[in-house]
A and B are shown apart, each in its own frame.
Chain A
C-alpha cells in the first residue's frame, strides 16, 4: 500500500519538487555570481507561459516524440517508487532518452542534430556507471528490486562508496550541468545555440522542461537509495545527502567551463572504471 502512496506522490509532486529545486538552483547560482537572480518560482512562471503559447513545430513528429519521452520518463519514476526492478527502470529511462534523441534529429536542423549526437555520446558515457551501480546494489542486497534494496539495516553507502562517487559524477551529465552540458548548453551565447532543444518551442519546450524535473527527482531518489535503511531517521539523512549532492552540482556548474565531449567520455569512463569498478571487485571478494 505504502508504495502506491509513494507512486502517487511522485506523479503529483515530482514536477513541483523539480521546479522548486531549479528555482533554488537559479537563486544560488545568482548569489555565486553576485547577482540578485530571479524569484524562486520563476521556473514555474516560465513553464506556464510556455504552455499557454501557440504550438509551433519544425517537423510533424516532434510533438508525439516529446510526449513519448515525457510518458516514459514518468513511467521510469513510477517503476522506481513502486519498488520494482532497478535494471528495468534504467531500461525504460534509456528508451525515453532514445525518444528525446529522435525528437531532436527528426527536424534535420543543424544545431539540434549536433546537440542530439552529443546527447548520444553522453548516454554512452554515463551508461556503464549506471549499470555498475545496479550491479553494486545487487551484490550488496542480493536483489535488483528497489523494494528489497530499501529493506536494509545498514546504508549501502558503506558498501558502495565507489559506486556513489561514480553515480554523483554522471549526475552532472544527466542534469546537463557544466562542464558536461555538451548537448544543450544552458549558458547563453554558445556555438551550439541551444543544442538538442533548439527546435523545441512553446508547449514542446514546456513539456521537455517538466520531463527534466521528473527525471531529476527520479535520479535524486537513486541517490537517496544509497542512504536509506530500515531506521526512519535515515530518511532525513537521505534528504540531507540529496540536498548536499544538489548543492555540489550547482557548485561544479558555476565553477567550471564546458569540456569537450572527447574529454568528457574519457574522464567519465576512467572514473567509472576505477571508482565503481574497484568498488565492485572489493565487494566481490568481501561478500
Chain B
C-alpha cells in the first residue's frame, strides 16, 4: 500500500514547490499536472482496494520514526502558532496550541507504553472520503487557478501572494488525506491541528483587518476543539493503554466506562470543526477568504472532517448521553441557522449558513447513530460536498463578472449570465429539489427519529425543512426573473479552467441524482455493514428506483412543457403596474407624471430573524446545553 504515504506526502512536496514557484504560468501548469497525479493516486488506491476484495485493510504497524517526525512537526506548528499569536497580540490563543501539544508530547515521551496498532485504516468510509477530497479538491484547485487571476485583477490593492495560496491548498489536501486514512489517534490529532491552522492562514490571506480578526476567531475555536480532542486521546491512552480509533469505538460499543469521556470529548471537538452551535460564528467569518478556499475548506472537505469523526464514533454514541447531546445540538443548529440564512442577502453568507445548517442535519443523523441515519448522513455528505462546491465556485465566478455577490443583484441572472445561472440552478436544485436535500434526508431522519422516539429532533426537522425551502426557493426565483437591467450588460469573464470545474461538478451532480440507488447497493450498504454488522436501506431498493423515476419525471416535465409551450401561439402583453407601464415592464408613470423605475426585492426579515438578533441567544442556549450535558457525562462516569 505504498500509495497511502504517497497520497499524503506528494501534496506536501507539491506545496513546497508551489511556495518557491513565483511565475504564474509555471504555477498553473504545475497545479494541473499535480491535480491529475493526485486524482490518479486516489483512483489507484480505489483499484487496489477493490482488487483486495473491498475488505478493511490495516497496515503500517511499526512506525516509530514517523511518530517522531510527526511529534516534531507538531511542536513546530505550536511554535509557529505561538509566534503569530504574539505578533498579532492575541496572546491567550497561543495557550490553546501549547497546552494540547505539550500534553500529547508528554504522553508520547513519558506516558505509559501503548499497545502497538496499525496506523493506517482503509475501509469504505475512508475510501469515500479520499475520493471526495481528491476529486472535489483538485477540481477546486483547477478552478482557483483562473479565479485567483481575476481576483487579484479586481483587488489590485492586495498583495499578490498566490504562491502562498496554492501552497496552502496542496498542504491542506495532504493533511486531509492523512486525517481520513489514519487509525492512530495521535496521528489524527496532528492532521486535525494542521487543517485548523491552514484554515486560519487561508482566512487571513488578504491581511485586511477584518480578515485577521476573523481568522483568529476561527483559530481559537478550532484549537479549543483540538484541546478537547487531545485531552480525550491522552485520557484514553492512559486508561486503556491504546490509542487506536477502532479500539475506542469498540470499547464504546461494548459499553466500557473507559470510553465514555474520550468519546464525549472527541465528539465535542467534532462539533467545533463542523461549526455547530455555539461555534458557528467562525465559519461565517471565514467567508472573507477568497472563494476557492471557502469552497474547499469551509464547505466541501474540512468541515466534513467533523462529520467523518462523528460517523466513526456513531456506533459508540448510539443510545448514550453523548449521542443525545450531539443529536440535539445538530438538530438545533439545523433549525436556527436556516432561519438566519433567510435573513441574508449576501450569496456567500447564505451558502455559509446553509452549510452549517446541513452539517447540523448530518451531525444529528450521526448522533442518533442507527444504521438508517448513518445511511442518510453518508448520502447527505456526498450530495452536499458536490453541490456546495459547485455553488461556491459559481458564486465566485458570478462575483467576478457582476462585481457583486448580493442575491438581489442576481435578479434575472439567467438573462445576464446564462451559463453561470444554469450552473447555479443545478446546484440549488441539487441542494433541495433533488431527492437528497429535500426528500430522503427528511424521510430517513424523520423515520429514524420517530423510531428512536426523539420528538425534539422531529420538531427540528419539520420546522427546519420549511425554512430551508424558503431561502432556496426565493434565490432560485431571483435567478429566473425577467431582468431589471436592459441597458447595462455584463461580460462573462469566466475562464476555461473555471468552466471546466463547474461543468464536471454539474455533471457529477446530475449523475449522482440518477445513480444513487445503485450507489446505495454497491457502496453505502457495505459501508454500513462494516460499521454495524448489518445494513439497512431506509427505503427498500424498489422504492429508491421509483424515486429516481419520479425525479426524472419531475425534471422531464419542465423540459417537455417548455417544448410544448414554445410551439404555442401567444400574444405578449405588458404587466399590470397600477400606473402606466412605459412599455418594457421596467418603468411606470406615476400619478405626478414622473417616470419611476421598478425595483423588486425579496423578503429577508433581517430585523426579526437576522444574525444579530438570533446568534447570541442561540449561542448562549447551545453553550448552556453543552455544559450541562458534558457535566452529566463526566459526573456519570465519576459516580
Contact = CB atoms under 8 A, between A and B. Distances in A.
A107 B469 contact: no
B576 A108 contact: no
Nearest to B458: A135
A181 B482 CA distance: 26
Interface string B541-562: 0010011001001100110011
Contacts of B570: 54-57, 63
A214 B439 CA distance: 23
B565 A67 contact: yes
A105 B571 contact: no
A25 interface: no
Interface stretch (B51-59, B291-299, B504-512, B598-606): B598-606
B578 A111 contact: yes
Contact of A102 (B469, B477, B571): B477
B575 to A, nearest CB: 3
Contacts of A271: none
Contact of A108 (B443, B467, B553, B575): B575
B486 to A, nearest CB: 11
B446 interface: yes
Contact of A94 (B469, B553, B600, B602): B469
Contact of A280 (B455, B568, B575): B455
Nearest to B484: A108
Interface string B242-254: 0000000000000
Contacts of A91: 438-439
B149 interface: no
Given A98-B433, A121-B603, A88 B561 contact: no
Contacts of B488: none
Interface stretch (A32-40, A112-120, A153-161): A112-120
B480 A127 contact: no
Interface residues of B, number: 62
Contacts of A111: 576, 578
Chain B binding surface SS class: helix
Contact of A110 (B461, B543, B564, B600): B600
B29 interface: no
Given A101-B477, A110-B600, A88 B547 contact: yes
B569 A55 contact: yes
Nearest to A95: B554
Interface of B: 411-412, 433, 438-439, 442-443, 446-447, 450, 453, 455, 458-459, 461-463, 465-467, 469-470, 473-474, 476-478, 480-484, 543, 546-547, 550, 553-554, 557-558, 561-562, 564-566, 568-578, 585-586, 598, 600, 602-603
13 contacts: A72-B557, A92-B554, A106-B482, A108-B482, A113-B481, A120-B474, A120-B603, A127-B466, A131-B442, A135-B450, A135-B462, A201-B573, A281-B455
Given A87-B439, A110-B578, 16 more contacts: A59-B482, A61-B480, A87-B446, A94-B469, A95-B554, A106-B480, A106-B481, A108-B483, A110-B575, A120-B603, A123-B470, A124-B466, A127-B469, A138-B447, A277-B455, A284-B455
